[in-house]
């Protein structure tokens, strides 16, 4: 990383550790900590969602009442057996972000208006939106016709654009909006003035990126971030296509079985350390995101670690010799998303918005086979035995794709389940935020 970013992170890291020892949870864990540089972080014990769920109150550094209480997204429910993770934010932290935002936007006389599609499934908002950001739900209560009006009308807010130039939100809602507009209101599409579409929360496949860009007429930029770590939001880099953490967060990619072992090439688990003053009320030091990431190449634009999420650490099968590191589920999803023969998970809002079944997530699961093999079970739209040649061609394509994305000694196999024997709807493996 560049010397300026390193100096900033190290100074804020020392401030963070000084604050963290005020919390009962960290007082003992950091008693013998000897951290003088970023590289010394690896000697500290990691924390995780389980810690936040069970000991979140003991992680507070102050008895001041929090300004906001935020809930983590649904992966807390899948990755732990307890309640979802609860994150506290202080007024001082919110003020620090507001000051940072104003500094970044200083000099912009015509700030873009933004429509932010919201849903509590991907983490409840933890503060009031910035000026010019309209948080709108894509629900029956806020009908598609009203949302369409917001995207096409002229506004007259001082210091902001007259039209909505940015659309942001969970990919699940962004792509639903796109296909709903195309199906029910195609005459609106030429009137949009979007310059950028920002998606987060789900794995953005190449097919859906192309589809959204074609319908909405604006480039799609994927966003990574997790609800618990303040300031963790980052965008795809135009130089390398990977993500770079902001200077106010310290990223590490480590071996999941040995968090002190840094991964410089290949795949590992992403750990994030939130830095004061942006997260000091409830510090998160070496926080295990649960995301399996691939370390990126040297970036021509940003001198810092690049990473790309490829799966969830919980997408593993114990005792079979393969796990998310060897066969990442995001990349499996990418293979299946290009195949129209694969059945899709039903989506409850389809009937309300007039969207057909092509919308949903591919229906599949990974299961252990014999001798350490990984079996990909895929539900088809037809009985494979009725169309043997078509199914055989699909099986060959999927096997070739699985071998190309597998790392380590993984022996993949493919099995088909037809509509008469549906697979259970598996938890989403699309988590990116």
Confidence of residue 433 (pLDDT cuts 50, 70, 90): very low
Q: pLDDT: is 130 or 66 the higher one?
A: 66
CA atoms 252, 405, 172, 314: torsion sign: negative
Query: To the nearest whole number, what is the mean pLDDT of the chain?
Result: 85
Residue 69 has pLDDT above 60, yes or no: yes
Distances (CA, A) of 350 to 17, 356, 428: 48, 7, 18
Task: Measure CA 105 to chain center.
Answer: 25
Confidence of residue 79 (pLDDT cuts 50, 70, 90): very low
Q: Do domains 3-94+229-312 and 329-417 have the same CATH topology?
A: no
Percent of the residues in the chain that have a pLDDT greater than 90, as a whole number:
52
Confidence of residue 285 (pLDDT cuts 50, 70, 90): very high
* pLDDT tens-place string over residues 42-65: 999 999 998 998 999 999 999 999
* pLDDT tens-place string over residues 208-239: 999 999 999 999 999 999 889 999 999 999 99
The top-level CATH class assigned to 108-224 is: alpha beta
Q: Which fold has domain 3-94+229-312?
A: Rossmann fold (3.40.50)
DSSP state at residue 399: H
Percent of the residues in the chain that have a pLDDT greater than 70, as a whole number:
84
Confidence of residue 352 (pLDDT cuts 50, 70, 90): low
Angle at 329 (CA atoms; ends 429, 314), nearest 5 degrees: 60
Residue 428 has pLDDT above 50, yes or no: no
Rounded mean pLDDT, 15-34: 93
pLDDT score of 73: 57
String of b and e for 274-298 (b: at least 16 CB within 10 Å)? bbbbbbbbbbbbbbbbbbbbbbbee
The top-level CATH class assigned to 329-417 is: alpha beta
Q: pLDDT: is 385 or 407 the higher one?
A: 385
Distance (Å, whole) CA 249 – CA 304:
12
Q: Which of 32-41, 314-323, 338-347, 395-404 is predicted with the least confidence, judged by mean pLDDT?
A: 314-323
Q: pLDDT: is 224 or 183 the higher one?
A: 224
Q: Are 343 and 363 in contact (CB under 8 A)?
A: yes
Residue position matching structure tokens 């300004």: 67
Q: Are 311 and 330 in contact (CB under 8 A)?
A: yes
Q: Which of 40-44, 186-190, 353-357 is predicted with the least confidence, judged by mean pLDDT?
A: 353-357
Residue 80 has pLDDT above 60, yes or no: no
Q: Would strands 267-274 and 249-255 be described as parallel, antiparallel, or unpaired?
A: antiparallel
Q: Are 325 and 145 in contact (CB under 8 A)?
A: no
Distance (Å, whole) CA 23 – CA 50:
17
Query: What is the Rg, in whole angstroms, of the alpha carbon atoms belonging to the chain?
Result: 23
* Domain-wise residue ranges, the chain: 3-94+229-312, 108-224, 329-417
pLDDT score of 246: 95
Q: Which of 126-135, 142-151, 210-219 is predicted with the least confidence, judged by mean pLDDT?
A: 126-135
Q: What is the dihedral of CA 362, 166, 103, 88, to 10 degrees?
A: -40
pLDDT score of 355: 67
Q: pLDDT: is 77 or 356 the higher one?
A: 356
Confidence of residue 374 (pLDDT cuts 50, 70, 90): confident
pLDDT score of 4: 92
Most confident of 12-26, 86-100, 402-416: 12-26
Rounded mean pLDDT, 126-138: 79
pLDDT score of 32: 84
Residue 348 has pLDDT above 90, yes or no: no
Give the residue among 235, 116, 133, 128 at the shortest CA–CA distance from 170: 116
Distance (Å, whole) CA 286 – CA 42:
8
Distance (Å, whole) CA 235 – CA 242:
8
Residue 76 has pLDDT above 50, yes or no: no
* pLDDT tens-place string over residues 249-275: 999 999 988 889 999 999 999 999 999
Torsional class of 241: left (φ above 0), alpha (ψ -120 to 50), beta (otherwise): left
Confidence of residue 427 (pLDDT cuts 50, 70, 90): very low
pLDDT score of 411: 79
pLDDT score of 324: 65
């Amino acid at each position: 990383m560049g010397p300026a970013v390193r100096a900033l992170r190290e100074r804020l890291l020392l401030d963070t550790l000084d604050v963290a020892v005020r919390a009962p949870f960290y007082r003992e864990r950091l008693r013998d900590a000897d951290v003088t540089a970023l590289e010394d972080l690896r000697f500290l014990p990691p924390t995780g969602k389980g810690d936040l769920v069970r000991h979140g109150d003991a992680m507070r550094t102050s008895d001041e009442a929090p300004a906001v209480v935020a809930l983590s997204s649904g992966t807390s429910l899948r990755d732990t057996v307890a309640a979802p993770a609860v994150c506290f934010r202080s007024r001082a932290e919110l003020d620090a972000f507001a000051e940072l935002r104003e500094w970044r936007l200083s000099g912009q006389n015509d700030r873009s208006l933004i429509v932010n599609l919201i849903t509590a499934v991907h983490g409840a908002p933890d503060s009031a939106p910035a000026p010019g950001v309209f948080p709108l739900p894509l629900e029956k209560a806020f009908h598609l016709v009203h949302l369409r009006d917001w995207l096409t009308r002229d506004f007259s807010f001082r210091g902001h654009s007259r039209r909505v130039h940015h659309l942001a939100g969970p990919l699940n809602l962004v792509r639903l909006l796109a296909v709903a507009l195309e199906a029910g209101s195609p005459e609106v599409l030429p009137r949009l003035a979007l310059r950028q579409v920002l998606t987060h929360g789900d794995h953005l496949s190449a097919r859906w990126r192309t589809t959204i860009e074609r319908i909405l007429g604006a480039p799609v930029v994927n966003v990574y971030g997790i609800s618990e770590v303040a300031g963790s939001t980052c965008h795809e880099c135009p130089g390398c296509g990977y993500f770079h953490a902001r200077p106010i967060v310290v990223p590490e990619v480590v071996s999941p079985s040995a968090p002190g072992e840094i991964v410089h090439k290949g795949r590992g688990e992403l750990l994030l350390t939130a830095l004061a003053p942006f997260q000091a009320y409830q510090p998160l030091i070496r926080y295990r995101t649960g995301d399996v990431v691939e370390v990126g190449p040297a970036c021509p634009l940003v001198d810092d670690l690049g990473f790309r999420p490829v799966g969830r650490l919980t997408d593993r099968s114990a005792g079979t010799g393969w796990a998310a590191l060897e066969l990442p589920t995001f990349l499996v999803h990418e293979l299946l998303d290009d195949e129209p023969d694969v059945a899709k998970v039903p989506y409850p809002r389809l009937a309300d918005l007039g969207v057909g079944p092509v919308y949903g997530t591919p229906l599949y699961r990974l299961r252990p086979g014999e001798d350490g093999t990984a079996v990909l079970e895929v539900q088809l739209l037809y009985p494979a035995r009725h169309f043997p040649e078509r199914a055989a061609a699909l099986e060959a394509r999927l096997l070739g794709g699985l071998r190309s994305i597998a790392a380590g000694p993984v022996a993949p196999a493919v099995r088909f389940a037809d509509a008469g024997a549906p697979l259970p709807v598996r938890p989403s493996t699309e988590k990116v935020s």
